[in-house]
Structure 1
């Protein structure tokens, strides 16, 4: 979708915030990554950046129309569960969920046909926006987690439970159709 008066790059950068399923996955991923202190974004960001770039690149082939909302809701549900339970998992589990979330968001962010430069600008903006939002969500979560105050830890876990509830509602709406 395009936003009138904005460049293709800015339209792409805002896209993840204008799609509810993308916002909920990004928020869940940010909470999951930021929950573990000290914050280490190197490996998670490499996984997320690579998979989202692959997903966005695959949308240019025209063979992928989008991702079923049930899949997006399922990914949000799984990540929200990790946040809600607050358990530290082996790196492979969050890495798989980071990759799945990034790939799903990328595949669901297809651009309508247009000039090659416009499509490239929009997809580039989406990619940069995804990375910026993930880093911000993770960073601010880690600031709260570093405080070692129990109420902040509980707040993060409550946010995870809300993500679980929202993803179940989104899944119900997706399966209703």
Structure 2
């Protein structure tokens, strides 16, 4: 079992504030080049500039942080290789897209579990880690660029995906013994539900 030191109220507050900021940031559904960021930097920005991705990563991180004891190392050993494999599929051209409503529906399911704050059987978080990693990875294909540029961009995306889940899970776990923080996580889960329903409605309308 992997253990992590507890942080202060301020750390938990900063984590939740960062999550809310991510949700309120204008996003796009494809890789967008930010001048001066470089290939890895642009790849890292992709998960936080895509509505379905940021909702799903945030929801998964909160859900993992709610589970006690926190066995984040084991979950990341599932998430990291699964996301790498999915990104590799896009790199080789094997699979290059996934329907957005599928990702949004998955984020909705994860958010419902967060809002309910239920302790889950061990295999459920790992299964959700696998689905999330594969779904976002496949949906992160780079449309143009030479081999080196595409590879660096996907590496940036992989690093950001794993870092976001890790950080959000740690923040949520640090509030596990604080009632106000637990309520805050559940409220954030409810917000993800509402936003997921809105984004799903727009996706289906298109």
TM range (shorter): over 0.9
Question: What does the per-residue CA deviation read over 1:117-153, in whole Å, with 9 as the maximum and x for residues that have no partner?
Answer: 11110011110111111111111111112xx232221
Which of 98, 107, 121 is matched with 2:129 structurally? Answer: 98
Which of 94, 97, 102 is matched with 1:71 structurally? Answer: 102
Q: TM-score, normalised by structure 2?
A: 0.81
Match of 2:189 in 1: 160
Task: For CA contacts below 8 A with separation 6 or more, give which structure has more relative contact order.
Answer: 1
Asked if 1:89 is matched to 2:120, the reply is: yes
Question: 1:171 deviation in Å?
Answer: 1.0
Question: What does the per-residue CA deviation read over 1:50-77, in whole Å, with 9 as the maximum and x for residues that have no partner?
Answer: 1111110111233534211100111101
For the residue of structure 2 that corresponds to 1:25, the secondary structure is helix
Q: TM-score, normalised by structure 1?
A: 0.94
For the residue of structure 1 that corresponds to 2:34, the secondary structure is coil
Question: 1:36 deviation in Å?
Answer: 2.0
- Mark the runs of 5 or more structure 1 residues left unpaired by the alignment: none
Number of residues of Structure 1 aligned to a counterpart in Structure 2: 175
For the residue of structure 1 that corresponds to 2:83, the secondary structure is helix
Match of 1:129 in 2: 160
Superposed CA RMSD in Å reads: 1.3
Bigger mean CA offset, 58-67 vs 79-88: 58-67
Q: Distance in 1 between matches of 2:100 and 2:135?
A: 10
Question: What does the per-residue CA deviation read over 1:25-72, in whole Å, with 9 as the maximum and x for residues that have no partner?
Answer: 110011001112332211110111111111101112335342111001
